[in-house]
Amino acid sequence: MTSAGGPDEVFALVRTHLLAIRPDLVADGVQPDRSMRELGVNSLDRLDVVVATLTDLGVDVPNDELAAATDLGELAEIIHRHR
């Protein structure tokens, strides 16, 4: 992680929730440049991952901003901006 509380920390939390919800995923395949859709995660599981992450961080992010994320790294950046 490059800085405490930075986007890398948010990505790590997203990754933790993703692997908890979808333990069938290969952990090494969950990288910032991959999208949940690419990883085969359905829309309900994607929502669960995002909601769990936002809840853990105590932040609220507008849905349109979340929907604009094209990969996990972008999702982490967007969430980080609202911390």
List, in order, residues 6 or more apart from 30 with CB less than 8 Å away: 15, 18, 19, 39, 72
pTM (global) more than 0.75: yes
Q: What angle do CA 44, 31, 74 make, to 5 degrees?
A: 70
Report H helices in the chain.
Answer: 7-21, 43-57, 63-67, 72-81
The tens place of each residue's pLDDT in the chain, 83 residues long, gives: 334 579 999 999 999 999 999 999 999 999 999 999 999 999 999 999 999 999 999 999 999 999 999 999 999 999 999 99
The pLDDT of residue 2 is 37
- Domain 7-81 annotated CATH 2.40.110.10: no
Q: Is the distance from CB of 79 to CB of 54 less than 8 angstroms?
A: yes
State residue 67's pLDDT score: 95
Per-residue model confidence (pLDDT) at position 5: 78
